[in-house]
Amino acid sequence: MHRFRFVLYRPLQLLPVLFGISVITFVLIHAIPGDPVRTILGPKATVEAITRVRAQFGLDKPVVVQYGLFLKNLVRGDLGRSVVYKVGVVELVAERFVATAFLLGYGVVLALALTVPLAVTAALFRGRILDHLIRVFSTAGLGFPAFWLGIMLMILFSIRLGLFPVSGYGEGFLGHLHTLFLPAFSIGLALSAVLTRNLRASLLAELDSDYVSAARAKGLSPRWIFVRHVFRNSLIPTINLLGVNLGWLIGGTVVIETVFSVPGLGSLIVKSIFARDYMVVQAITLTFACATVLVNFAVDVVTVALDPRIKL
């Protein structure tokens, strides 16, 4: 199992990146103009109250000490309190995380449900009219603003046809599936444009390779070759691309959650910026960055599991 040895040491390589993430987030929040204490206490705060709160948050200490404190609290799972919601930021983020994760997962599933048939069709009908139509879809799909697509789908399917709720998250698993269909589809469509291109190209590359000719010469049925060998091998670059695109996908989710008022991290970060609830902005930025790093690690593991030739 030495192929999987990287699962043990890769997390150590990730530590500097996680450290860098924490530094950037810390610097960003400290670069905000204006006094955070005044923001918390309001304009009528007395000088004593301000001094007291400054000391309480360690804001009277040098920046490096403040970063140390921030890191210490971070390790203990304390990221401060939300000014608006009056609860611990970690609690708030944990509560909202589920909706975002659900929406992201749903979006990826819908994207794959579109990608696989489209890419397979394009590859099988290479150079024919269907292939060209799918190519137009994957080129145009790249430029579809997800938030606009979301509103258009909302106008058509929610307002005109009344098939889906206009906003929210729904009750229970089926409720989530129903309510989040349009937001997930809006995210998934743009993603499927990227993935279709990639999967089609790798399907064609595999179809042209020598082992396929060999399998054909051996008399294996084309269907068996395609399903068993070509498709499986082509999936690896596509899964990699999915990992690479996760950051981009999260960005889409932030906007889409705002469009559909989904109670997730994305809509929360936007609201918190306008409410100057910086502790929440900081925590969500950290969460998204760490999630990206971890998912990319998971993608590496899956890649190695799928293809015995790959060593990391």
- 177-180 CB contacts, 8 Å cutoff, 24+ apart: 177/106, 180/102, 180/103, 180/106, 180/260, 180/262
Residue 48 per-residue DSSP state: H
Is 202 a residue that touches other proteins (CB under 8 A)? Answer: yes
- Specify whether the CB–CB gap between 297 and 36 falls below 8 A: no
Is 254 a residue that touches other proteins (CB under 8 A)? Answer: yes
Question: What's the closest the beta carbon of residue 80 comes to other proteins, in angstroms?
Answer: 16
Convert 88-112 to b/e letters by CB count within 10 Å (16 or more is b): bbbebbeebbebbebbbebbbebbb
Is 112 a residue that touches other proteins (CB under 8 A)? Answer: no
User: Can you tell me the distance from the alpha carbon of 218 to that of 16, in angstroms, rounded to the nearest whole number?
Assistant: 51
User: Can you tell me the distance from the alpha carbon of 278 to that of 290, in angstroms, rounded to the nearest whole number?
Assistant: 18
- Specify whether the CB–CB gap between 282 and 88 falls below 8 A: no
Q: Which stretch binds other proteins (CB under 8 A): 67-75, 92-100, 217-225, 274-282?
A: 274-282
Nearer residue to other proteins within complex by CB, 17 or 63: 17
Interacting residue with other proteins among 42, 77, 127, 162 (CB under 8 A): 127
Q: Which stretch binds other proteins (CB under 8 A): 60-68, 83-91, 167-175, 286-294?
A: 286-294
Question: What's the closest the beta carbon of residue 227 comes to other proteins, in angstroms?
Answer: 20
Nearer residue to other proteins within complex by CB, 52 or 130: 130
To which residue do tokens 């993603």 refer? 191
To which residue do tokens 């794959």 refer? 112
- Specify whether the CB–CB gap between 279 and 81 falls below 8 A: yes
Chain mean position to CA 144? 18
- x-marked contacts with other proteins along 158-187 as a string, rule CB under 8 A: -x----------------------------
Nearer residue to other proteins within complex by CB, 52 or 205: 205
Nearer residue to other proteins within complex by CB, 98 or 152: 152
Nearer residue to other proteins within complex by CB, 28 or 55: 28
Contact positions vs other proteins (CB under 8 A): 16-17, 20-21, 24-25, 28-29, 31-33, 126-127, 131-132, 139-140, 142-149, 151-152, 154-155, 159, 201-202, 204-205, 207-209, 236-237, 240-241, 246-252, 254-255, 258-259, 269-270, 273-274, 278, 281, 284-285, 288-289, 292-293
